[in-house]
Structure 1
Amino acid sequence: MALRYQRLLWALGAFALLLAIGASRLAYDRALKAQFAELNERGSSTLTLAASSLSGLLSRFERLPGLLAEQPPLRALLRYPDDPAHLDAANQHLRENAERSGASVIYVMNSEGVTLASSNYDQPSSFVGGDFSFRPYFQEAMAGGLGRFYALGTTSNRRGYYFGAPVEFGRDRLGVVVIKIDLEQIERAWAYEDLRIIVTDTEGIVFLSYRPDWLFHTFGALTPDNLARTRETRRYAGAQIGQIDHTTGTVPGGHAVLRTTADDGAREEFLALQTHMPRAGWTMQVLLPTGAAYAQALTLVSTGALGLGLLGLAALALWQRRRQLAERLAVQSRAAIELEARVAQRTSELKRTNIALQEEVAERRMAENRLRQTQAELVQAGKLAALGQMSAALSHEFNQPLAAARNYAENAAAFLDRNRGPEARDAIHQILGMIDRMTRISRHLRNFARKPNEQLRPVPLAEAVAGARDVLAWRLDKAGVMLELALGDPPPMVTGGLVRLQQVLVNLISNALDVTEGSNDRRLHLSAAARGEMVEISLRDHGPGVPEALQARIFDPFFSTKEVGKGLGLGLSITYNIVRDFGGSLSVANHPEGGAVFTLVLRAADHPALDAAE
């Protein structure tokens, strides 16, 4: 028993050791990742400040050459270069502006690139007489723009940034005013702040660095084109371009690091952050040593591991003394916790599922209401559009009876004056007949135009057909189309709404009228027959029929086979949705003897309509 217990202790100890090693490694990785994130944030702030200071220095001098180009002493010198008085005045003017602005050197070149006057005219490294026509800043200024260039001075052998502006007199470009800024003061300021900052030019050559041995070196081999451009502009005079021994990689968190060799031969690793300065075409990098991050992460993990180790030893001693009681309590506790967790999880899942179902039901109800509302609006729009199309013909339908009624009224008055009562009464009966006809048409149009109720009820099919026929009577007469009815005896009752059923029949008959315009046989056949609990209503025309390839799309919204401008393609779509709301179906097929057959199937109803107007 003791040996078994001892083996169990050894197994637990080994497992605890492995667990501690794994946990320590995971904790170290997380701590290191946090340290690098903090280091990256600090480096980003440093990089932003350094880039802003350098950009601010360049911006401070950017407009000065253009202002100096307007100064009379410089313009006079370029116009009269051989006049000693103008030369002396220009030198003094340039020196005063250089001292006032803090520029390293300000000088004036003629149109050939030869320096005529300079703020350092009386110093051993004077620029006077120097030919700098090969510099890009001179060439860009002579082309009419603002010249910019960074280079190592061929005369002073000092690094600087050059701004050049043309001096113009009328349409003539007499020369160029150039300002040189000494960037070494920025480098000295960075060294004072113990900042590890390097700046590379457009070719990738380091020209500002906290390490002097990196100056005029690259982090990779220059291409022949880059090397040729550097030599052509004599950017770094006669300096030898070298390469920096380095490697790159990443650390936890995905941050880029640069590994180099220090002056004493030791390997160094830096977290490298860089930003591009588009106006100057430079790339600035801030290098932050990573040694402190590794040490801090190791210290945190070591402290945590030591604390956990002491806590583990204490727990192990307690477990050895009370293992039996602890095992029973642990089993009970784990079971209770697991049960509570399962209950809580299941309860939470049920709540989430219930909420999701309620939201889905609400969304479906809202979508159904929006669908019904949109469908009702489309039905109403279709009816109003049909009424608009019928307005001219209906005007004719009303004007003719009104004119006839006037004539009959005048005749009746004449008959009454002559005491011809029977003839007057006959004229009045004619007037009443015409009034009844106009009343019937207006009632159908009024019912046809207003929005229907949503409730379904028994509807006499014959009444719906009569209403649709009255609405379209003018088109039938105008087109010379015969609508032949075979509704059965008695005509069936269907389940639906009278106005919407009239809309369905009007749309179907209107489409049939459209396709029979060019047909020799202008008959339409409307028939109805009971099929068990359903009523099948068919409308056949003698037109060209519907191609089989289009039959599946004929009821889609905005799909139309008519010419452009003769329909929106909504009539059959609205009709299809009305029939579906009635609980019926609508289909189309071609008749074997020619023409199309639209088949409308509705549920049969056994009771008369309660509200014929719906």
Structure 2
Amino acid sequence: MLGFITLAALVILAAGYFAYSLALRGALQETARRGDNTLQLATTSLRGKMERFEHLPQFLAEHALIKSIAQSPKDAGVVARTNAYLKSTQQLLGASDIYFMDASGVTRAASNFDSEISFVGGDFGFRPYFTEAIKGGLGRYFALGTTSGKRGYYFGAPVIAEGAVAGVLVIKIDLDSVEQDWIGSDDALIVTDADGIIFFSSRDEWRYTALAQLTRAEQLALIKSRRYGAVPLSGFPLKARQEVAGQTLLTVQDGHSYLALIHYMTEADWTIRVMLDAAPAKRQALLVAVMMMLTLGLGMTALAAVLQHRARLQERITLQQTARNQLEARVKERTSELATVNEQLGAEVNERRLAEKNLRQAQADLVQAAKLAALGQMSAALSHEFNQPLGAARTYADNANVLIERGRHDEARGNLDRILSLIDRMTSISRRLHSFARAPGQKLGHVSVAEAVEAASEIAQLRLRSAEVTLEVSLPDNLPLVVAGPVRLQQVLVNLLTNAADAAETAQDRRIHISAQSVGTGVYLHIRDHGDGVPPGLTERIFDPFFSTKGVGKGLGLGLSISYNIIKDFGGILRVEPAEGGGAVFVIELRASETGGAA
């Protein structure tokens, strides 16, 4: 077991080191991707600041006043006007300083001519920006000002007078604002010159330090150009340098590690570095390594537990063999007891069989009771189906007698035709009695909604008059034909109108509205009343058989159930909704006929 523990410890340590290396590589690459954005922003801001002034010296060198002072550098009037011009231009452009140097390098006019640190009279011929521009090129240089002691970037352009270079116009810009934007950032930013000296840094302690040891020649060149004046230069506090996954890790003297990303600015011969704190990446990698080691540790522990379990299992097998021998002896003793128990179980089985036979008889009785209940429903439905046309026929017959007495025979004949139509309807209903036992077999046709509403309104007219209810019908002229049975659709509408009349009879607003609209591939028909409406808890039960919200003796509760099934046979939907302002709205959704014809 000791050897297993030693081997497990070595495997866990090796896996932890491997996981740490891989996780650190991935974390550093992710940190580098984030740092690329910071590096690009820093480079863009620095380059944008410089490009703003890059071509201005050449432009100003073409000014007539600059050419005049180049030809007459000692003319007091020309010098005064040039000083004023350079000062106004410097204020307009936002540059640090603008000045003109003659061919010998002596400053003749400057924007700071009236300040305590005026450049006028100063000899800056040793500066590289002057030596490059006096040869006809564009001078560029970064240095500390020998007069002002401030950092600045210099652009020099030759001033051509009478076909020859007669002087140099210089613009000095202050880049301190860019550095101020960097200070306070989570990432450190530094800019080094061609000699590796940091002259811009978001960390004060790193400014004016050299990343590498300066050679004697480099030191002499810096002294000659006076780039950093009398500022002492020290070495960068670098403790260690490490390459991980193609990335450079720099560790400083205080123990902090930074991931260095580099971008080289060709135009200024500068190198911009963003120093990203590597501590989060190391912590993440360490966390992954610890998780890996814990996982392996748990796995090794589980493996040790399995091995230990197997040893104990072997011991248990031996004990079980002994116990098995004892059990065989006890089984023989219990055999006689089991025989008695089997006899008791046989008796219980016989009892269960008898109970099952009784249960089947009870189920048969329930089926018979269900058939009788269905027969009662059919009788009630048949009564409900015949009541409506019989009532309408009685109404038409009464009206016909009145019309015959008044000599209005044509109108009386129309009522007799309607009575014959109702008799045909009752005949059709009697032929459809088998629909209570199986699905309806009637064929559906193309029905006009307007004609069905008109017929239903005539049938329900007597009930509407007795309830003193006003029926308002608003149907569009372009409604399409719908898929339905004309007689059964009239039956549904008469039932809904009768129910609406019952609801509106006790209401203050005794109006019933019938409206329709064409929606997509169907027609929605609305029957709305202003009664008490349907309570929210009863909307789901309103279409159940024998369910009614009316009082005792005022209905069997089958009308809405029959209507619901009729509309369902049409492939439509019948539903109820609360009406705005009170009452209920019954909505019939019917399919439009595929013929596309309009009523």
TM value normalised by structure 1: 0.48
Larger Rg: 2
